[in-house]
């Protein structure tokens, strides 16, 4: 399967703990995106990378959130000092060159903060 993969698929943590999610994009895609989707809502853009450069961050990405894509391949999203409001599905997507190209989404990581 050469689609976008995310790990883990589910994460349960206690408030105040740190969590890290991983996304592996489609191999030839240079752009990688993170979105957050809460129950009953559409995905909300968090940040994106072109190769290893983080080019845009949403105001939703508080200072407790950090994303990296160190070698322009996989990416990690870390949430420090988790809060109950962080409970959501975190989606990763990747895209090749060109504005009209489709963003391919991964299955998501569902985070539950107790």
For other proteins, the binding residues (CB under 8 A) are 3-4, 31, 33, 35, 40-48, 55-56, 58, 91, 99-100, 102-103, 105-108
- Specify the 3-state DSSP secondary structure of 25: coil
- Specify the 3-state DSSP secondary structure of 104: strand
Identify which of residues 48 and 81 has a Cβ nearer to other proteins in the complex: 48
Q: How far is the CB of 86 from other proteins (least distance, A)?
A: 19
Q: How far is the CB of 42 from other proteins (least distance, A)?
A: 3
Q: What is the b/e burial string over 28-63, where b = at least 16 CB atoms within 10 angstroms of the residue's CB?
A: ebebbbbbbeeeeeebebbbbbeeeebeeeeeebee
Q: How far is the CB of 100 from other proteins (least distance, A)?
A: 6
Q: How far is the CB of 110 from other proteins (least distance, A)?
A: 10
Residue with tokens 């969590």: 19
Identify which of residues 14 and 99 has a Cβ nearer to other proteins in the complex: 99
Euclidean distance between CA atoms 39 and 42, whole angstroms: 8
Identify which of residues 18 and 38 has a Cβ nearer to other proteins in the complex: 38
């Amino acid at each position: 399967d050469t689609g976008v993969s995310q790990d883990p698929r589910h994460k349960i943590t206690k408030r105040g703990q740190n969590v890290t999610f991983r996304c592996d994009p489609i191999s030839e895609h240079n752009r990688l995106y993170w979105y957050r989707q809460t129950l009953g809502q559409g995905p909300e853009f968090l940040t994106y990378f072109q190769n290893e450069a983080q080019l845009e961050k949403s105001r939703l990405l508080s200072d407790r959130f950090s994303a990296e894509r160190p070698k322009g391949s996989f990416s990690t999203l870390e949430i420090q000092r988790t809060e109950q409001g962080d409970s959501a599905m975190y989606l990763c997507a990747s895209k090749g060159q060109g504005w009209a190209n489709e963003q391919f989404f991964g299955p998501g990581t569902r985070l539950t903060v107790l």
